[in-house]
């Protein structure tokens, strides 16, 4: 496990934006060795009554009737690695049934970290965009916070789930124009062809030969002969071997991939979709025949069973503002059909020393944009996790963010809140979390153990609220 933890920290630390700022106003935390007991908030959801329609669907499933409940968890690097979301997915699917992985993105092809549940491979490289870069309206950044673009006419992306539990029967494309540039294929085959290519020869310099004489012999200029051999002057020595390009042609064997398209289909929303009559472990994404280029924002993988899907959408170093600035994120979010959207930001905003009201303003903007496209989705906001600023200062910004979120929830009663910050013990719990092995050495990220502990607490808070619903309904 240590190797995995070190790997994830090495990758994720690049995503957390730690700008060097004035620290004169910050309070240094007591020595990490001074571990003291901290008071923890009750592990309960605020405004859990907003989840009653979701609980009613879960109760329907418990009665053996057909139902599927979709969760989507959006956040920063704490979410991208899929440790937290993967654990919640496992817990809820064990309790209510496995409806599929949900929304996924091939982070590996974007050369960044992601879920280990799926292996992605491709026969080409892609241009990558992500929402933490300066805003550019021409960049097709969508639901995943990323975009992969290729103009290759014969690319193929292999999607291979590693475990039987994650097999799927339905796959949907999330991309500009609802994925019209893509098709699906089951199999790839290697086609062996031959083509003629120009061949090169060699000439061994004899005593007394001049470079001009050799060039004339092979019908080429002195400049071309020098360029082919990296010569800077006309001086050559007897015995030296010179390359003579274009001495004729030869036959070369070339291999290329060929895919057998399955044909385009569309779901009720017009998204390119394929549905199989059996569970699949592998499928290929290929370009549609007449497409000039293809842009991918992600995939939805589901099965035909009743149960839970729990999608993770995370971008290292991201903030509310990074998701708010791309309209394509919200345009595509409506097609998730999310019953619950869990949202986890605040750590990166704290390194910006953002004012709590400005932070709350970004949260409200996100909320308004989601509600505009998906009015029935319940938003469950988590407060940030305890961490330090610059490895040694109390991060009071996190307390301010949590207080603002909770006050807003209690006043407006239009969002559900899980107070992760204070359930874990608040900002003074950092020494304890570090000593327990939950907090990583950078004192910002968490270890796999730490993320799974958060996942267990979040799952328990949700299940407790569902249990209380069942007692009264």
Q: What is the CATH number of the domain that holds 419?
A: 3.40.50.1110
Is 461 domain-assigned? yes
Question: How high is the pLDDT of residue 38?
Answer: 81
Dihedral over Cα of 424, 426, 430, 435: its sign: negative
Q: Which DSSP helix (H) or strand (E) runs through 237?
A: none
Question: How high is the pLDDT of residue 389?
Answer: 94
428 burial (CB, 10 Å; 0-12 / 13-18 / 19+) is: middle
Give the whole-angstrom CA distance, residue 243 versus residue 246. 10
292 burial (CB, 10 Å; 0-12 / 13-18 / 19+) is: exposed
Question: How high is the pLDDT of residue 455?
Answer: 98
Is 189 domain-assigned? no
Q: Which DSSP helix (H) or strand (E) runs through 304?
A: none
Query: What would the two tokens of residue 376 be?
Result: 């029935």
Which of 88, 80, 89 has its CA nearest to residue 110? Answer: 80
> Phi and psi dihedrals of 49, rounded to 5?
-65, -25
Per-residue pLDDT of the chain (473 residues; tens, 9 = 90+): 444 444 444 334 444 444 445 665 676 765 555 556 788 999 999 999 999 999 999 999 999 999 999 999 999 999 999 999 999 999 999 999 999 999 999 999 999 999 999 999 998 999 999 999 999 999 999 999 999 999 888 888 999 999 999 999 999 999 999 999 999 998 765 545 556 665 668 889 998 899 988 888 887 889 988 988 889 999 999 999 998 887 666 666 555 567 777 876 888 899 999 999 999 999 999 998 888 889 999 999 999 999 999 999 999 999 999 999 999 999 999 999 999 999 999 999 999 999 999 999 999 999 999 999 999 999 999 999 999 999 989 999 999 999 999 999 999 999 999 999 999 999 999 999 999 999 999 999 999 999 999 999 999 999 999 999 999 87
Give the whole-angstrom CA distance, residue 28 versus residue 227. 63
Question: How high is the pLDDT of residue 195?
Answer: 61
Give the whole-angstrom CA distance, residue 93 versus residue 365. 31
Question: How high is the pLDDT of residue 247?
Answer: 64
Number of domains in the chain: 1
Is 429 domain-assigned? yes
How many angstroms separate the Cα of 214 from the Cα of each of 204, 245, 327?
10, 13, 64
Is 389 domain-assigned? yes
DSSP 392: T
Tally Cβ neighbours within 10 Å of residue 242.
20
Give the whole-angstrom CA distance, residue 101 versus residue 167. 8
Give the whole-angstrom CA distance, residue 444 versus residue 393. 11
**Residues with Cβ within 8 Å of residue 329, at least 6 apart in sequence:** 131, 141, 142, 143, 145, 323
Structural domain range at position 40: 28-97+306-473
Is 148 domain-assigned? no
């Amino acid at each position: 496990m240590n190797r995995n933890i070190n790997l994830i920290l090495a990758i994720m630390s690049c995503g957390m934006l730690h700008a060097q700022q004035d620290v004169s106003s910050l309070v240094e935390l007591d020595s990490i060795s001074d571990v003291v007991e901290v008071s923890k908030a009750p592990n309960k959801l605020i405004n859990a009554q907003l989840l009653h329609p979701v609980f009613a669907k879960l109760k329907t499933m418990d009665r053996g009737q057909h139902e599927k409940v979709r969760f989507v968890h959006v956040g920063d690097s704490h979410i991208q690695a899929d440790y937290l979301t993967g654990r919640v997915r496992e817990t809820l699917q064990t309790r209510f049934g496995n409806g599929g992985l949900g929304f996924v993105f091939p982070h590996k092809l974007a050369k960044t970290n992601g879920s280990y549940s799926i292996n992605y491979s491709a026969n080409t490289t892609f241009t990558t965009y992500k929402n933490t870069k300066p805003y550019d309206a021409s960049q097709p950044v969508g639901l995943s916070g990323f975009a992969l673009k290729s103009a290759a006419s014969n690319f193929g992306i292999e999607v291979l789930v590693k475990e039987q539990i994650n097999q799927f029967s339905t796959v949907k494309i999330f991309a500009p124009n609802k994925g019209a540039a893509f098709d699906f294929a089951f199999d790839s085959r290697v086609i062996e062809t031959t083509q003629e290519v120009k061949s090169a020869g060699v000439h061994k310099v004899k005593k007394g030969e001049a470079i001009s004489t050799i060039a004339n012999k092979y019908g080429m200029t002195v400049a071309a002969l020098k360029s082919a051999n990296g010569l800077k002057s006309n001086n050559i020595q007897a015995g030296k071997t010179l390359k003579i390009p274009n001495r004729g042609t030869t036959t070369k064997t070339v291999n290329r991939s060929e895919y057998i398209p399955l044909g385009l289909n569309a779901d009720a929303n017009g998204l390119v979709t394929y549905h199989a009559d059996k569970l699949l472990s592998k499928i290929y994404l290929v370009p549609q025949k007449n497409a000039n280029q293809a842009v991918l924002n992600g995939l939805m993988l589901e099965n035909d069973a009743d149960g839970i899907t729990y999608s993770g959408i995370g971008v290292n170093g991201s903030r509310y503002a990074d998701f708010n600035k791309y309209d394509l994120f919200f345009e595509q979010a409506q097609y998730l059909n999310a019953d619950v959207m869990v949202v986890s930001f605040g750590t990166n905003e704290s390194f910006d020393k953002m004012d709590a009201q400005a932070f709350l303003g970004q949260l409200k903007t996100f909320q308004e944009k989601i509600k505009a496209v998906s009015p029935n989705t319940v938003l469950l906001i988590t407060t940030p996790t305890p961490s330090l600023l610059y490895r040694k200062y109390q991060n009071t910004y996190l307390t301010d963010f949590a207080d603002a979120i909770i006050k807003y929830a209690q006043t407006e009663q239009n969002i559900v809140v899980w107070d992760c910050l204070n359930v874990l013990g608040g900002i003074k719990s950092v020494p304890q979390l570090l000593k327990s092995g939950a907090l990583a050495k950078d004192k910002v990220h968490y270890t796999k153990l730490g993320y799974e502990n958060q996942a267990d607490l979040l799952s328990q808070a949700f299940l407790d609220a569902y249990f209380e619903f069942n007692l009264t309904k």
